[in-house]
Amino acid sequence: MTKLRVLVVEDSLTVRKRLCEILGSDPEIEVVGEAQDGKLAIELCLRHRPDAITMDMMMPVMSGLAATEYIMAHCPTPILVVSASTNRGELFKTYDALVAGAVDVLEKPLGDASDTAWESNFIATLRLVSRIRVVTHHRARLRAADHLAQRTVPMPLPPIGRNYQLAAIGASTGGPGAVVDVLQALPASFRLPILLVLHISEPFGAAFAEWLDGQTPRRVAYALDGEPVATAAGRVVMAPPGQHLTVRNGRFWLTREPERHSCRPSVDVLFDSLAQDCGAVTVACLLTGMGRDGATGLLAIREAGGFTIAQDEASCVVYGMPREAALLGAACRVLPLSDIGPALAALSGPGARERS
């Protein structure tokens, strides 16, 4: 039986030993190395070639972000960020690490009765992370793949007379980088409200909108309950961590109703509400992510007359959610990541023709 080989990177000796103890309790996992700083993490990664890495963010000598960037450029390995960072600056580094190629993020154990559940979640998440396909120079590879795809994948054109009034985006694993790419590709003249649901847990989602706001000239903020959709023209409105975002009667509404597909916020919850409220004037995109959240909602928008896009397999970090949408026939177009921003821009402009 081949064991899952893990490198543990954590500057706190107490936490590091605890993580190693948890991993060591599973007969199918082997800890192949321990590092207390990013520099040693790189050395051990190059030496042992682990199947997965648990990575702290705030460390001496070299930070977790710097180590993640180097590892993904020179020794691409699935990385699970395990961090207790909750202040703004440290959260920003976590988001940067996700864009640099880290697969997922998990908070550190609290050292109380909740740790039993945390341990099970930690091992399960690490197993999932270890199965993710990671590549050298992640973002550069996407640009190269997209350049080739641009010559072979037709761009969608807006239907005659269709006045789209809203854009919606859903994403999960690999989503932070993909969302940044889409938003940066939009021209300044793009004035549709952009609704965004991204799967990111509450401890780490607190400052994501602020971080994303700094990655693009477009304003980004969390939705306010009851806010009119019309006031969000040209802005990005995000579902807050732990709350579903819906649209009803031209306003944003937030709820803490049960999770859907184990997610809150859920892409399906947003897309379903859009299909019912304004589906015919909605453009919706489903980006990289694990699972199937958003697939049926994307189909509902298409059936309501909206235009729907799913990211293609070659440019996805995880071809899960978009794949489910494609299998359902929910996507009017399946496009590489670099085509999605330009497609949104084309669909928001006047004078285009139907091509679906």
The reported pLDDT for the residue numbered 339 is 94
The reported pLDDT for the residue numbered 133 is 83
CB 37 within 8 A of CB 65: no
Give Cβ neighbours of residue 24 (< 8 Å, ≥ 6 apart): 31
Average pLDDT for 124-149: 65
Max CA separation in the chain (angstroms): 64
The 10s digit of each residue's pLDDT in 292-349 is 999 999 999 999 999 999 999 999 989 999 999 999 999 999 999 999 999 999 888 6
To the nearest 5 percent, what fractions of the chain are helix, strand and coil? 40, 20, 40
The reported pLDDT for the residue numbered 278 is 94
CB 267 within 8 A of CB 286: yes
Whether pLDDT at 222 is above 50: yes
Alpha-carbon distance of 135 to 100, in angstroms, equals 11
C-alpha torsion angle, residues 208, 211, 214, 216 (rounded to 10): -40
* Amino acid at residue number 138: H
| Helix/strand/coil for 350 | coil
Annotated active-site positions, please? 172, 199, 293
Alpha-carbon distance of 17 to 33, in angstroms, equals 11
| Helix/strand/coil for 351 | coil
Question: What is the pLDDT of the chain when averaged over all its residues?
Answer: 88
The 10s digit of each residue's pLDDT in 25-46 is 999 999 999 999 999 999 999 9
CB 314 within 8 A of CB 145: yes
Alpha-carbon distance of 344 to 332, in angstroms, equals 13
Numbers of helices and strands, H then E, in the chain: 13, 14
Token pair of 162 as six digits: 């269709």
The structure tokens 């190693």 sit at 20
The reported pLDDT for the residue numbered 140 is 40
- Identify the weakest region by mean pLDDT among 207-221, 229-243, 341-355: 341-355
Average pLDDT for 280-292: 95
Average pLDDT for 195-206: 85
The 10s digit of each residue's pLDDT in 144-184 is 344 434 433 444 454 545 689 999 999 999 999 999 999 99
pLDDT band (50, 70, 90) for residue 116: confident
Average pLDDT for 54-74: 93
Token pair of 41 as six digits: 């993490």
Exposure string of 25-64, with b = 16+ CB inside 10 Å and e = fewer, is eeeebebbbbbbbbbbbbebbeeeebbbbbbbbbbeebbb
Alpha-carbon distance of 149 to 143, in angstroms, equals 10
